[in-house]
Amino acid sequence: MFSLLSAILHYKGFIIGAVKRDFQARYRTSMLGAVWLVMQPLAMITVYTLIFSEVMKSKLPGINGEYSYSIYICSGLLLWGLFLEICGKGTSLFIDSANLIKKVNFPRITLPVILVLTALINFVIIFILFAAFLIIIDSLSPLQLLMMVPVVFTTLTLAAGLAMVLAVLNVFFRDVGQLITIVLQFWFWFTPIVYPVQIIPNWARGFIEMNPMAVTVDSMHKIFVNNQMPDWTSLLYVLILGLVLLILGLYLFRRHSGDMVDEL
């Protein structure tokens, strides 16, 4: 574990450089550049707000604010976006970098670190826009931002842990990559992000509560929509689950990183 940390520290130049390059690579050939970074989530939020709040007239039970549904969707979707980016790209992490891994000797552990950092920066950029919107409609307090930190951290841990396990498995069993795209689709709709949890029939609520992402998304809703404290205990369980996955992922990585090069 210590050797992994010291490798990360020694290669911090590479990690920072790679994160920078990742952003550059995404937008350097397009004319509008960084605008696209914001466009995609903005489009998604618009679509969901229009369909659910205007067309389907969904209402959040107990909350009556002009923008409450938009805030509901945005806060959940932003967090899901972070989770999705890490899990989605993470699963094919080693396969996508096969060329580099096979040719150059460098600590492979830097690759997930780069991924998590990139996703986090992406999240922060989009969140700043969301925060600006909240400030305009005058419903943002510093306490909310403070409470969000552990929620984001928990999501990050969960996503990184899951991605690490899947990334290693995917090298040896390529079916994992195919499977996970389908699972993530279902997972999104089984998480109350675009719809309120109250529309779920009672018998199914139990299943939703077992979904760790439902817990973190619900925390975001509590913070930004209801202006309440999240349920810290449930969040702690998710954090523990994330840490267990992360340790399992690192164990798998350490154990199979030698064989990994042969399979790429």
Partner 1 sequence: MSKVLSLNNLGKSYKQYPSKFSRLIEWTLPFLGLRHSKKWVIRNISFDVTQGETIGIVGVNGAGKSTLLKMITGTTKPTEGEVSRAGTIAALLELGMGFHPDFTGRQNVYMSGQLLGLDTDTITNLMPEILAFADIGEYVDMPTRVYSSGMQVRLAFSVATAVRPDILIVDEALSVGDVAFQAKCFRRINDFKEKGTTILFVTHALDDIVKHCHRAILLDKGSIAMAGEPRAVVNEFRDRMFGKSKKRVDSLSERLNKPDDNELSCDDIFHTKPLYQTIEHRWGTRAAEITDYIIKSDDQNYPVTIFAGRELDIKFRCVFHNDIESPIFGLLLKTPDGVNLYGASSRELMHENLGLVKAGAVVDFTFKLKMNFNTGPVLLSVGLTHTDEAGSDEPLDRRYDSILLNVDNEKKFIGLVDAETQCYIEVNE
- Chain residues binding partner 1 by CB under 8 A are 10-14, 16-18, 21, 24-25, 28-29, 99-106, 172-173, 257-259, 261-262
Min dist. Cβ of residue 223 to partner 1 (A): 38
Given the complex with partner 1, which of 108 and 221 has the nearer CB atom?
A: 108
Q: Provide the residue type at 129 as one letter.
A: L
Given the complex with partner 1, which of 114 and 220 has the nearer CB atom?
A: 114
Q: Taken in order 35, 52, 59, 235, is the CA torsion positive or negative? A: negative
Q: Measure Cα distances from 58 to 80, 87, 110, 130 in Å.
A: 21, 30, 44, 22
DSSP conformational letter for 50:
I
What is the rounded (10 degree) CA torsion for 186, 179, 39, 132?
A: 60
Min dist. Cβ of residue 174 to partner 1 (A): 10
Min dist. Cβ of residue 120 to partner 1 (A): 20
Given the complex with partner 1, which of 24 and 227 has the nearer CB atom?
A: 24
Min dist. Cβ of residue 37 to partner 1 (A): 17
Side-chain half-sphere of 48: how many Cα atoms within 13 Å?
22
Given the complex with partner 1, which of 102 and 229 has the nearer CB atom?
A: 102
Q: Measure Cα distances from 207 to 43, 203, 210, 231 in Å.
A: 30, 8, 5, 17
Given the complex with partner 1, which of 17 and 33 has the nearer CB atom?
A: 17
Given the complex with partner 1, which of 100 and 240 has the nearer CB atom?
A: 100
Q: Taken in order 18, 40, 177, 163, is the CA torsion positive or negative? A: positive
Given the complex with partner 1, which of 66 and 262 has the nearer CB atom?
A: 262
CA distance 132 to 212: 28
Min dist. Cβ of residue 94 to partner 1 (A): 14
CA distance 252 to 222: 36
Min dist. Cβ of residue 81 to partner 1 (A): 25
Min dist. Cβ of residue 1 to partner 1 (A): 19
CA distance 114 to 14: 9
